[in-house]
Structure 1
Amino acid sequence: MSKTLPDESGRRAAGRRLWVALALLMVAVASVAFVIASDAGRSQAIATMRARAADAGTLGLAILRGELEKQRALPVILARDPDVRTALRGGDKHALDLKLEAIARETRAAVIYALGKDGVAIAASNWREPTSFVGNDYAFRDYFSGAVAGGMAEQFALGTVSKRPGLYITSRVDDGREPLGVIVVKVEFDQVEADWRALGGQTYVVDGRGVVLLSTIPDWQFRTQIELAPQVAAEIRQSLQFGAAPLTLLPLRRDGEIVRGAGAAAGRHVSARIPIPTTDWQLEVLMPVDAAIRNDQVRLQTLVALLLMPGAALGALVLWRRQVNLARRSAEAQVKAELERRVAERTVALAGANDRLVEEMAERARAQERLSDAREELAKANRLATLGQVTAGVAHEINQPLAAMRTYAENARAFLGRADAAGADGALAKVVGLTERIGTITDTLRGFARRGSGPHAPVDLGEAIDGALMIIDAALRQAGVAPKLPSLAEPVRVLARPVELEQVLVNLMRNAIEAMAAGRDGRAPRLAIEVAIRAEDVDIAIVDNGPGLDEGALAALFAPFRTTKPRGLGLGLVISHDIVTSFGGTLSATSRPGEGSTFTIRLKRAT
């Protein structure tokens, strides 16, 4: 009896020890399984949130690029607008205010304004507001100097007047080879930041120096990702690009693949960074990961617990796992579909804007072609009008040979009557010579009536001046003008077309004759043709002592339909200017009121 009791007690103790060992083993297995599940849940949550951050970054980039590309086309188009150029030349600036106001309202640009060559704003879309930019000097801004130097520029800065940040997109306005000023479009990104907030997480954009430009957290704007060198920070503050921003560090600390934040972004996050094409900016999205880690860890630990349960609960565990996975995949599919839909909408909008821009450029090309055709017709009409004015002079030139021909013909008849064949032959030879003279006169008149074509060729300047003087001879004699002609030691040839060069000379000399006749004050009219030969160019100057032109008339001299003549159309000088330009030369004018005017044609010298 005493032996049986110790054996029973030992078996019970062994059993208890086995249960304790089994319990300890189960606790150890469960602990290890929970630790593994915790790590797996953390890794899986980080990977999932990183994918969501990348998707959000892709959509955020599409939203930002859509706004940037839409606004970048605006200053390029406005730089070619005639109203902008007119205002920068000193025209109606208030009309430009109204136009820029309407354009800014339609394009959702924050403000559009035009700067003169000195950097002072002459017109702005916010001209009605107390913070109007009109009259402010922006020559110190990098976007102004960059556009003047390179044609286009961009700068993100804090407004000195509005105190609102935005991207300034600029394009230079040119008048030939000379810049007239700069057109500026300021873009503010309030709507873009609002769209980013709808994506979840925190989204912000930094420039090449690490300064935050845009952010869904307003307090982060103009803070930095890295500590700036004192010299760099001083240069930024001196340029007033970000006003008086302290340029302090963001409340973020990177710990491997985790970003720890404080304040509005407290907790742990995963990030996705995407470079923004055509800029030195980068877009970064922070997705909070604490809740996702907790959820995935709890989910995986629950799964481990269920797997340790008896097989009876295994079916329910598998079904629950399947439901969880299906729910997660459905949510991910919905998020992906929404991202693809928004990207497609933005792509369609950009394609439509691009098509409209291409159509506008084609319409401008067609308008330019129609303008060129109209100028061609006006040039022909001008030559025909000039032809009518010189008909009387040409008729006088023909009448003299005709009278001489009659005399020689009668002489030939008399010689034939006396059987003097030699005398008759001499008289008839002179008749033939006179008919050639008449042919030369009519050929000149016919050539003057049609527009020259073909390539430029060397033209004898002396012959062109003689031809023009013959056409305008009657007008010169009627006005009592004896032109002073250049003394050319040897033939001088220029690159032109002879008939069109004669047309220009006729227009300029006729204008000088009419000006001296209209402003006669007792002085004898004086008209001179001066030729200056240079290494590669030849200058032909038409000088008169007429009443001259004031500054206003001189500035509008080559503008269409501007004239000082009572019956003039204002096209002669425009056509002459176009002809000389087509030769690769220039036509310019100087004048001294009360003393006369000088028109100078500069042409390439033919070697």
Structure 2
Amino acid sequence: MAVVGIDHAGRIRSFDDTAERMSGMRREAVLGQPFADAMFRMRAAEDVAWTFVPHESGAGGIAVFAFGEDVSARREEARKTREAERIATVAALGTSLAHEIRNPLNGALLHVNVLERLLERQGADDECVEALEVVEQEIRRLSRLVSEFLEFAQPSPPVAHATSAADVVARLRSLVTPRFDKAGVVLQTHVADVAFETDVPKLKRAIEQLLVNALEASSMGDRVKLGVTCSSEGVRVEVEDQGAGITDPELALFEPFVSTKAKGTGLGLAIARRMVTDLGGTLDFTSQPGRTVFSITLPTSPLSRNA
């Protein structure tokens, strides 16, 4: 806890080491300065809660002691609690609605398939066939949106199994390579030889979402890099693309239904973060034009590691 002594004029008379660390300001720079002005300039002022206690003896010219407590962890915990409550509310309301939507969508898709066969037998013109294909594509898109929402809203508890980074990446490559080849985007991988325990389907799903996100941000001829490394902190997965970057730093990318794409559902990154959170890890990103990196950090102790 930081301790700052303030005189009757409201100026700083003492400033301890903790106050220096917490504020990012040196003692020599603030002594004699108005307390209010100094605290306004301090680093992360909103993360410090001050309590003022009168100094009855007035020794050293100090009339009041200000005790500063770092509340950043408490603030972050409160934010996470609010977010969890909000997501739970949305999930509870949306899950029932999603199930109600899915059934008629399946029925509509079935009848579209029947119409396609009828038109094929009757030799319908290309315009009719193309129109029906558009209807089918839109129904499938809505069905995919419903499935993604249910995946986000109804997470299953993680079940850890032993696996290796090489095995996870190999399975992902076989899954996404056709899409990368079709788009003319090169997928490069660099994988540390490490074995660890995790919920493999959840980890694969999270990385798959990041790879798809990187692919959609890429142009023909671009490269997407997938790397897995290991350190004392655990396993780190990075997906890097050469796209235009994320230009709005305030955009809440990991919130559901937030997307930078015209036809994006806004659930891909939300699902990825949900999966990573279920695994006890974190998901963050850095971005600039031509280079965006999404990073998963899993606090998982490796079972083995070869240099």
Instruction: Please give the TM-score of this superposition, normalised by the length of structure 1.
Output: 0.28
- For the Cα contact (< 8 Å) 1:540–1:602, is it kept in 2? yes
Instruction: In structure 2, give the amino acid aligned to 1:581.
Output: T
User: How far apart are residue 576 of structure 1 and its match?
Assistant: 1.5
Mapping for residues 573-588 of structure 1, pairs under 5 Å: 573-588=269-284
Question: Quick check: 1:468–1:503 contact (8 Å CA) kept in 2?
Answer: no
Higher helix share: 1
Q: Deviations over 1:330-353 (max 9, x none)?
A: xxxxxxxxxxxxxxxxxxxxxxxx
Give the Cα–Cα distance (whole angstroms) in 1 for the partners of residues 166 and 82 of structure 2.
40
- Equivalent of 1:484 in 160, 173, 188: 188
Tell me: CA distance 1:571–1:138, structure 2 relative to 1, closer, same or farther (3 Å). farther
Separation of aligned partners in 2, 1:504 and 1:185: 44
Give the corresponding residue for 1:465. Answer: 169
Give SS of 1:524's match. Answer: coil
When residues 365 and 542 of structure 1 are mapped into structure 2, their CA distance, relative to the original with a 3 A threshold, is: closer
Partner of residue 497 from structure 1, selected from 196, 199, 205:
199
Tell me if the contact between 1:485 and 1:529 (Cα under 8 Å) persists in the aligned partners: yes
Distance (whole Å) between structure 2 residues aligned to residue 378 and residue 138 of structure 1: 55
> Which residue number in structure 1 is paired with residue 286 of structure 2?
590
Measure the CA separation in 2 of the matches of 1:138 and 1:569. Answer: 54
Please state whether the residue corresponding to 2:215 is helix, strand or coil: helix
Pairing 1:571–2:267 present: yes
Whose radius of gyration is greater, 1 or 2? 1
Contact kept, 8 Å, 1:452 with 1:499, in 2: the verdict is no
> By how many angstroms is 1:511 displaced?
0.6
Note if 1:531 corresponds to 2:247.
Answer: no
- Which of 144, 157, 160 matches 1:456? 160
Match of residue 74 from structure 2:
none
How far, CA to CA, are the matches of 1:502 and 1:580 in structure 2? 10
1:514 & 1:534 partners in 2: Cα distance?
30
Q: How does 1:295-444 map to 2 (within 5 A)?
A: 368-369=84-85, 371-372=87-88, 374=90
Cα distance in structure 2, aligned partners of 1:586 and 1:139: 40
Alignment of 1:491-570 (within 5 A): 492-516=194-218, 520=219, 524-550=221-247, 552-553=248-249, 556-570=252-266
Using the alignment, how far apart are the partners of 2:182 and 2:204 within structure 1? 20
Displaced runs of 4+ in structure 1, greater than 4 A?
Answer: 137-142, 183-187, 364-370, 373-379, 449-452
Per-residue deviation at 1:573? 1.8
Q: Which amino acid aligns with 1:460?
A: S
> CA 1:577/1:377 → structure 2, altered by over 3 Å: closer, same or farther?
farther
Separation in 2, partners of 1:458, 1:605: 11
1:546, 1:180 → 2: CA distance? 35
Report deviation, 1:561. 3.8
Which runs of structure 2 are paired with 1:267-278 in the superposition (5 Å)?
Answer: none
Judge conservation of contact 1:465–1:505 (CA < 8 Å) in 2.
no
**Change over 3 Å in CA distance of 1:138–1:514 after alignment to 2:** farther
State how far apart, in whole Å, the 2-side matches of 1:549 and 1:524 are.
20
Report the CA distance between 1:505 and its aligned residue. Answer: 1.1
For residue 267 of structure 2, what is the amino acid of its counterpart?
A: L
Q: Secondary structure at the match of 1:485?
A: strand
Cα drift, residue 377 of structure 1: 9.2
Query: Following the alignment from structure 1 to structure 2, what is the Cα–Cα distance between the partners of residues 590 and 464?
Result: 24
Measure how far apart 1:555 and its partner are.
6.1
Whichever residue aligns with residue 471 of structure 1, its letter is L
SS in 1 for 2:186: coil
Rounded to whole Å, the distance in 2 between the matches of 1:470 and 1:378 is 33
How many angstroms does 1:543 deviate by?
1.6
- CA distance in 2 between counterparts of 1:542 and 1:526 reads 11
Once superposed, what is the RMSD of the aligned Cα atoms? 4.7
| Counterpart residue identity of residue 512, structure 1 | A
1:186, CA displacement in angstroms? 8.8
Deviations 1:225-256 (A, max 9, x none): xxx5xxx53x2x2x3539xxxxxxxxxxxxxx
Change (3 A) 1:375 1:567: same
Residue identity in the other structure for 2:275: I
**After superposition, what is the alpha-carbon deviation per residue over 1:462-485, rounded to whole angstroms, capped at 9, x for unaligned?**
222233333333322221223112
Q: How does 1:82-101 map to 2 (within 5 A)?
A: none
| Separation in structure 1 between the aligned mates of residue 253 and residue 165 of structure 2, nearest angstrom | 25
- Which ranges of structure 1 fall in alignment gaps of 5 or more residues? 1-118, 120-136, 150-159, 162-177, 188-206, 212-227, 243-363, 386-448
Question: What is the rounded CA distance, in whole Å, between the counterparts of 1:555 and 1:180 in structure 2?
Answer: 21
Contact 1:375–1:575 (Cα < 8 Å) also in 2: no
- Asked if the contact 1:458–1:496 (Cα under 8 Å) also holds between the matched residues in 2, the reply is yes
Q: 3-state DSSP class of the match of 2:188?
A: coil
Q: How many residues align?
A: 207
C-alpha change, 1:574 and 1:182, in structure 2 (3 Å) is same
Distance 2:159 2:181 in 1: 35
Judge conservation of contact 1:452–1:497 (CA < 8 Å) in 2. no
Aligned partners of 1:535 and 1:185: how far apart in 2? 39
* 8 Å CA contact retained: 2:177, 2:187: no
Q: What displacement does 1:589 show?
A: 1.2
* Deviation at residue 571 of structure 1 after TM alignment: 3.1
Change (3 A) 1:138 1:570: farther
Distance 1:589 1:184, change over 3 A: same
Q: Deviations over 1:194-227 (max 9, x none)?
A: xxxxxxxxxxxxx7x7x3xxxxxxxxxxxxxxxx
**Change in 2 beyond 3 A, CA 1:371/1:536:** closer
Q: Is the 8 A contact 1:483 1:526 kept in 2?
A: yes
Asked whether the equivalents of residues 528 and 542 of structure 1 are also in contact (C-alpha less than 8 Å), the reply is yes
What is the one-letter code of the residue matched to 1:484? Q
Provide closer, same or farther for how the CA distance between residues 454 and 546 of structure 1 changes in structure 2, counting only shifts above 3 A: closer
Query: Residue 370 of structure 1: CA displacement?
Result: 6.2
Using CA pairs below 8 Å that are at least 6 residues apart, which structure has the higher relative contact order? 2
Q: Is the 8 A contact 2:52 2:64 kept in 1?
A: no
Cα distance change on mapping 1:180 and 1:563 into 2, 3 Å: farther
* Aligned ranges 1:277-288 → 2 under 5 Å: none
* Contact preservation (8 Å) 2:158, 2:278: no
CA-to-aligned-CA distance 1:576-595 (integer Å, 9 cap, x gap) = 223212322222212221x2
1:537 Cα deviation after fit: 1.6
Look up the match of 1:475.
179
> 2:64 corresponds to which residue?
241
Residues 529 and 370 (structure 1 numbering): CA distance in 2 closer, same or farther, change over 3 Å? Answer: closer
Q: Compared with structure 1, are the counterparts of its residues 139 and 587 closer, same or farther at alpha carbon in structure 2 (3 Å cutoff)?
A: farther
Quote the Cα distance in structure 2 between the aligned partners of 1:583 and 1:139: 47
Between the aligned partners of 1:485 and 1:453, the Cα distance in structure 2 is 29
Asked if the contact 2:166–2:191 (Cα under 8 Å) also holds between the matched residues in 1, the reply is no
TM-score (norm 2): 0.52
For residues 559 and 185 of structure 1, the distance between their equivalents in structure 2, rounded to whole angstroms, comes to 35
State the AA in 2 paired with 1:570.
G
Task: Please state how far the C-alpha of 1:185 moved relative to its aligned partner.
Answer: 8.6
Three-state SS of the structure 2 residue aligned to 1:574 is helix
